[in-house]
């Protein structure tokens, strides 16, 4: 029996056995359809060249026999198309390992493919708060950062993109300040060209702001309305006349740009959904984030989840477009033995990075014999500025089981914020160049 995961390794073997023929082709696409069945797609010139056509059909037959049931009948297993760009358009696609002209094209039932990495934005820094598991203190940390940054005079824009489990905005805003609309309303109205009407009424200013401002854009308005019916439509691509539809992540980017133009924030904090979820995929990879905070608790669930994601980036050959923006954050660092806890977490994170997205550094002997460069994107275990070196948020009884963070932040003591979130806030400010006066970062030794 052949299962899905064996398709590409077997395809690699079969194609390698016919290397000379495969490299003659301008391109070859291994198309995995929605049901996980494979077809070859090759340039249309191949169809009119009897010899080449016969060879590609035989090659497909060889592959189909080995990967059945993940193949089509041989007679419909090869398609001929004019352009690879058109075949790849709107899909998750990447070159097959070891081949430069063979592309894997995946047709997915969902849009979130995690491999479309938008370049970093050049305006106000966008910071995404993400975690593989829920309940790691992500939204609370975001709210505390917003509070502190505003207190330091910054204009902060906060977006609640945890659409399926909204709540951040209610922790930053009391009920009477919730705006009329939220992100889901904008995304639904945009489908019928009615979004401008809601833009003015989807932002609230938190009264927690003192010297600066916190603008909060909630997932839904004061009255959630028909939330489920709206949520089921937010992912819709927008039909545009005369051109291909605009994917929902591009619509979300457009919303963010409109908000930034209107509010001119110094920094944008985005609460993403946890897990390998479609909205999270957009937040992490498609919003042009400058910094992606990967919240982690030390435990096998966290690391196996991140490994799936990092492996996917490596396989899809996009790791280098995203890795410099990644940063591990240790959430809820326990009160007892924090140093040992952080040290263990750092080792787990290091193993993850070194096995997936860090460049391999050849050993000095190899360098000697092959004259390879020793350069590469790689950090030692103990390097302070490495992405695997956890920024820490401490567990604190004052934040456990809060009913509303809003109430808590109202009376919070600055020393407590600094104790719990100071490391995270200080490092964020340094990272995005807003470091103008917040006390020095708590270094590892303080734990
Ligand atoms: N630093 C902290 N110390 C102690 N408890 C905390 C801390 N931060 C958050 N909590 C508590 O942990 C729980 C989860 O927090 P939070 O909602 O911020 O997590 P989350 O990662 O955003 O969760 P979700 O994935 O559900 O959105 C809440 O009960 C919160 O009060
Ligand atoms: Mg949350």
Query: What pLDDT is stored for residue 245 in this prediction?
Result: 87
Measured from the CA of 397, which atom of ligand 1 is nearest? 4
Angle in degrees, CA 101, 107, 109, rounded to 5: 160
Measured from the CA of 167, which atom of ligand 1 is nearest? 27
- Compute the residue count for the chain: 447
**What's the rounded mean pLDDT across residues 25-50?**
95
Which one has a higher pLDDT value, 415 or 268? Answer: 268
pLDDT digits (tens, 9 = 90+) for 250-265: 999 999 999 999 999 9
What is the best residue among 128, 131, 138, 140 to mutate for testing ligand 1's pocket, by most ligand atoms within 8 Å of CB? 140
Query: What pLDDT is stored for residue 443 in this prediction?
Result: 46
E strand segments, 161-310: 204-205, 213-217, 267-271, 291-296
Tokens, residue 306: 């991140």
Exposed / middle / buried, residue 260 (Cβ in 10 Å: 0-12, 13-18, 19+)? middle
pLDDT digits (tens, 9 = 90+) for 50-66: 999 999 999 999 999 99
**What's the rounded mean pLDDT across residues 368-386?**
76
Backbone φ and ψ of 375, nearest 5° = -80, 155
Query: Are 357 and 310 in contact, with CB atoms under 8 Å apart?
Result: yes
Residues in CB range of 101: below 8 A, 6 or more apart: 22, 23, 25, 26, 27, 28, 95
Q: Alpha carbon 369 to chain centroid distance?
A: 39
Query: What pLDDT is stored for residue 1 in this prediction?
Result: 83
Q: Any idea which of 98-102, 170-174, 301-305, 396-400 has the lowest mean pLDDT?
A: 170-174
Backbone φ and ψ of 48, nearest 5° = -90, 0
What distance in angstroms lies between residue 166's CA and the mean position of ligand 2's atoms?
Answer: 8
pLDDT digits (tens, 9 = 90+) for 270-282: 999 899 888 888 8
Query: What pLDDT is stored for residue 373 in this prediction?
Result: 52
CA neighbor of 18 nearest in space, from 103, 136, 102:
102
Confidence of residue 439 (pLDDT cuts 50, 70, 90): low
Which of 38-47, 206-215, 362-371 holds the top average pLDDT? 38-47
Q: How many CB atoms lie within 10 A of CB 366?
A: 13
pLDDT digits (tens, 9 = 90+) for 153-198: 899 999 999 998 877 777 778 888 889 999 999 999 999 999 998 9
Say whether pLDDT at 445 is over 50: no
Which one has a higher pLDDT value, 168 or 79? Answer: 79
Query: What pLDDT is stored for residue 136 in this prediction?
Result: 94
Span between the terminal Cα atoms of the chain, in Å: 52
Query: Are 220 and 250 in contact, with CB atoms under 8 Å apart?
Result: no
CA dihedral of 413, 416, 422, 425, whole degrees rounded to 10 = -50
Query: What pLDDT is stored for residue 444 in this prediction?
Result: 46
pTM of the model: 0.89
Percent of the chain exceeding pLDDT 90 equals 62
Query: Are 142 and 343 in contact, with CB atoms under 8 Å apart?
Result: no
Query: What pLDDT is stored for residue 430 in this prediction?
Result: 87
Say whether pLDDT at 85 is over 50: yes
Asked if the peptide bond before residue 420 counts as cis, ω within 30 degrees of 0, the response is no
Say whether pLDDT at 68 is over 90: yes
**Which of the ligands is closest to the CA of residue 331?**
1
Measured from the CA of 295, which atom of ligand 1 is nearest? 21
Q: Which domains does the chain have, with CATH numbers?
A: 4-106 (no CATH), 125-446 (3.40.50.300)
Query: What pLDDT is stored for residue 360 in this prediction?
Result: 85
What distance in angstroms lies between residue 355's CA and the mean position of ligand 2's atoms?
Answer: 29
**DSSP H or E run through 415:** helix 414-431
Confidence of residue 111 (pLDDT cuts 50, 70, 90): confident
Residue 199: CA count within 13 A, CB half-sphere = 16
E strand segments, 260-389: 267-271, 291-296, 326-333
What distance in angstroms lies between residue 267's CA and the mean position of ligand 2's atoms?
Answer: 19
Query: What pLDDT is stored for residue 173 in this prediction?
Result: 82
Exposed / middle / buried, residue 250 (Cβ in 10 Å: 0-12, 13-18, 19+)? middle
Tokens, residue 293: 């905070």
- β-pairing verdict for 204-205 and 92-95: unpaired
**What's the rounded mean pLDDT across residues 364-392?**
78
Which one has a higher pLDDT value, 115 or 162? Answer: 162
What distance in angstroms lies between residue 289's CA and the mean position of ligand 2's atoms?
Answer: 18
| Integer Cα distance of 426 and 276 in angstroms | 28
Percent of the chain exceeding pLDDT 70 equals 91
Angle in degrees, CA 344, 345, 348, rounded to 5: 90
Tokens, residue 59: 């090659």
Query: What pLDDT is stored for residue 330 in this prediction?
Result: 96
Task: List residues bridging with 129 in a β-sheet.
Answer: 271, 293
What distance in angstroms lies between residue 357's CA and the mean position of ligand 2's atoms?
Answer: 27
Average pLDDT over the chain, rounded to whole? Answer: 88
Give me the DSSP letters along 230-272. HHTTTTPPBP-TTSPPBPHHHHHHHHHHHHHHHH--SEEEEEP
Say whether pLDDT at 235 is over 60: yes
Measured from the CA of 136, which atom of ligand 1 is nearest? 21
Q: Any idea which of 83-97, 165-179, 238-252 has the lowest mean pLDDT?
A: 165-179
Q: Which residues line ligand 1 (CB under 6 A)?
A: 131, 134-140, 162, 165, 274, 332, 393, 395-396, 399-402, 420
Measured from the CA of 394, which atom of ligand 1 is nearest? 1
Per DSSP, the three-state class of 215 is: strand
Backbone φ and ψ of 213, nearest 5° = -140, 145
- As a whole number of angstroms, the longest Cα–Cα distance in the chain is 79
Atom 8 of ligand 1, nearest CA residue:
137
Say whether pLDDT at 401 is over 80: no
**Which of the ligands is closest to the CA of residue 169?**
2
């Amino acid at each position: 029996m052949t299962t899905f995961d064996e398709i590409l390794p077997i395809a690699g073997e079969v194609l390698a056995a016919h290397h000379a023929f495969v490299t003659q082709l301008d391109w070859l696409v291994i198309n995995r359809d929605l049901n996980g069945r494979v077809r070859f797609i090759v340039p249309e010139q191949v169809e009119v060249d009897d010899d080449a056509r016969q060879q590609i059909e035989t090659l497909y037959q060889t592959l189909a026999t080995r990967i059945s049931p993940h193949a089509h009948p041989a007679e419909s297993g090869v398609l001929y198309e004019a352009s690879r760009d058109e075949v790849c358009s709107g899909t998750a696609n990447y070159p097959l390992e070891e081949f430069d002209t063979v592309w894997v094209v995946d047709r997915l039932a969902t849009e979130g493919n995690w491999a479309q990495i938008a370049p970093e934005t050049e305006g106000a820094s966008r910071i995404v708060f993400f975690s593989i598991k829920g309940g790691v203190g992500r939204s609370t940390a975001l709210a505390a950062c917003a509070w502190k940054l505003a207190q330091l005079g910054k204009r902060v824009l906060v977006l609640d993109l945890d659409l399926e489990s909204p709540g951040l905005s209610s922790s930053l805003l009391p009920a009477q300040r919730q705006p009329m609309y939220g992100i889901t309303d904008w995304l639904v109205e945009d489908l019928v060209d009615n979004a401008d009407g809601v833009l003015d009424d989807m932002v609230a200013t938190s009264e927690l702001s003192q010297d600066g401002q916190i603008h909060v854009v909630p997932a839904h308005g004061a009255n959630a309305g028909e939330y489920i019916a709206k949520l089921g439509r937010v992912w819709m691509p927008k039909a545009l006349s005369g051109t291909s539809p605009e994917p929902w992540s591009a619509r979300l980017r457009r919303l963010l740009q409109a908000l930034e133009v209107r509010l001119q924030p110094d920094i944008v904090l985005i609460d993403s959904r946890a897990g390998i979820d479609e909205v999270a995929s957009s937040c992490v990879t498609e919003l042009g984030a400058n910094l992606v905070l990967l919240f982690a608790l030390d435990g096998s669930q966290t690391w196996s989840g991140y490994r799936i994601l990092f492996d996917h980036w490596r396989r899809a050959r996009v790791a280098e477009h995203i890795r410099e923006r990644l940063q591990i954050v240790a959430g809820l660092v326990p009160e007892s033995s924090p140093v040992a806890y952080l040290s263990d977490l750092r080792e787990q994170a290091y193993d993850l990075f070194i096995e997936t997205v860090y460049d391999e550094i050849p050993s000095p002997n190899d360098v000697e014999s092959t004259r390879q460069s020793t350069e590469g994107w790689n950090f030692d275990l103990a390097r302070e500025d490495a992405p695997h070196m956890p920024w820490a948020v401490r567990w604190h009884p004052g934040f456990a089981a809060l009913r509303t963070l809003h109430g808590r932040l109202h009376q919070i003591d600055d020393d407590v914020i600094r104790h719990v979130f100071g490391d995270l806030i200080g490092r964020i400010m340094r990272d995005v160049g807003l470091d103008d006066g917040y006390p020095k970062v708590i270094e590892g030794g303080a734990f």
